[in-house]
Amino acid sequence: MNMSERRVVITGIGVISPLGNTKDEFWKNILAGKSGIRRIQSMDVTNYDCKIAGEVVDFDPAPFFNNHKEARRADRYFQLAMAAAKMAAKDSGLNPDALDPHRVGVMVGSGIGGLRTLETQYEILLNKGPGRVSPFLIPMMISNIASGMIAGEFGYMGPNMAIVTACATSNNNIGEAWRIIKFGDADCMICGGSEASITPSGLAGFGNMKALSMRNDEPERASRPFDKDRDGFVMGEGAGVMVIEELEHAKKRGAQIYCELTGYGATADAYHLTSPHPEGLGAARCMEMAMRHARVNPTDVDYINAHATSTPVGDVCELRAIKRTFGDHAKKGVLVSSTKSMTGHLLGAAGGIELAASVLAIRDQIAPPTINVENQDPECDLDVVPNAARPAKIDVALSNSFGFGGHNAAVLVSKFVD
């Protein structure tokens, strides 16, 4: 079987998010149009201009680790990643004892990595000296440790890496895992992303860039993609992890199949440090590449989970890219929504939970809403599924993620037909 003939399906989903710590709770709240944005509780935000975020609450990492010491030692981003990976594996019914460990790999990335650990240990360095810095600082902080330790937990010795492309991280990890299976170097991959950067330096850094919403008095209404009054994104945290498999491998073990992962695109804007190309050229080519790999036409795409972070520039640039790519179908046939209106922007984990939403949209034939669209921007003049989920025929869905540095990544999923 050559590369193009190997079909890849999604068989497991794990989600930790501001809207719930299971995929079912997350999806229920998405469809209800519930906001997970609130005043930050994990740190004192008195001196910060932005005081709101999409935090993960009521999360206990201990059940996902072998002992309390191991759980306590792990950076929060790694805790979230391990939890989502174990949930995805359980959802998929993976049994390590029944699999060839050399044919199963892991690619779970993080845009920033262990920022909380870095801050904590740097404070110890300054106040108590180098001798008091934890010997676990480096392995707790680095962005690849989740992939390495998830593999170690299950004993999977296949391809293992962590791509770091800022807010495109999850989609790049999922897409390149798809390539690995297509190429024949693995039969199953655990892939996605995790982020936990609601920390003093994370909040200050994004805040001083003037990238964040300052709607502190109305947290639930702060993330408002496509709305004329949007004033910046809202930080979020969490993890989204998928189990993807070669079709025959999944069928042989009797796995459930959510949908087929059919296309992936990755491009660069080569334009600016943080701003997208004003005409969305890189994003357009990215979506075109995903469709070309999937062998679908623009008119075949029913739903797009947009990157749309609720920034004045970014939302418009993405919709320009969609119009460039889909032509008349952009206005007449495709639904475009941003679940970041409810979760905030999970940075390197965004693509993971947004692909989960896209997959579940196909399963349940319903489009997630964009909430807080009270005065839709005339430049965002597509059907953005405003304010309420909508039953719809969704056989093909596209999930976009774009990151600082001009990274663009799109993943395309299709209803499974044997």
Same structural domain, 201 and 329: no
Share of the chain above pLDDT 90, in %: 96
Nearest to 168 by CA among 309, 321, 16: 309
- Above 80 in pLDDT, residue 2? no
Is residue 266 helix, strand or coil?
strand
Q: What is the pLDDT of residues 133-176, one digit of tens each?
A: 999 999 999 999 999 999 999 999 999 999 999 999 999 999 99
pLDDT 10s digits, 93-131: 999 999 999 999 999 999 999 999 999 999 999 999 999
Question: Is residue 218 domain-shared with residue 274, that is, in the same domain?
Answer: no
Whether pLDDT at 3 is above 70:
no
Dump pLDDT digits (tens) for 365-398: 999 999 999 999 999 999 999 999 999 999 999 9
230 and 272 share a domain? no
In this structure, the answer to whether residues 206 and 273 fall within a common structural domain is no
Predicted pLDDT at 274: 84
Catalytic, out of 167, 188, 286, 380: 167
Q: Is residue 3 part of a domain?
A: no
What's the mean pLDDT in 327-349?
96
In a domain, 290, yes or no: yes
Q: How many domains does the chain have?
A: 2
- 307 given a catalytic annotation: yes
Range of the domain at 239: 8-252
Residue 53's pLDDT is 98
Residues 27 and 49 both lie in one domain: yes
Q: Is residue 87 part of a domain?
A: yes
Per-residue pLDDT band for 276 (boundaries 50, 70, 90) equals: confident
Share of the chain above pLDDT 70, in %: 99
Give the distance, in angstroms, between the CA of residue 56 and the centroid of all CA atoms in the same chain: 14
The predicted model gives 325-344 an average pLDDT of 96
Which residue from 251, 258, 259, 256 is spatially nearest to 187, judged by alpha carbons? Answer: 251
Question: Of 188, 307, 380, 407, which one is the catalytic site residue?
Answer: 307
Helix orientation angle between 145-154 and 76-92, rounded to the nearest 10 degrees? 40
Residue 81 covered by a domain: yes
Q: Does 46 fall in a domain?
A: yes
Assess whether 233 and 351 both reside in one domain.
no
Q: What is the pLDDT of residues 254-267, one digit of tens each?
A: 999 999 999 999 99
Q: Catalytic: which of 277, 293, 345, 407?
A: 345
DSSP H or E segment with residue 312: helix 312-326
Question: Is residue 272 annotated as part of the catalytic site, yes or no?
Answer: no
Give pTM, 2 decimals. Answer: 0.97
- State the average pLDDT over residues 320-328: 96
pLDDT reading at 291 higher than 80: yes
Q: How many CB atoms lie within 10 A of CB 391?
A: 9
Whole-number pLDDT of residue 4: 62
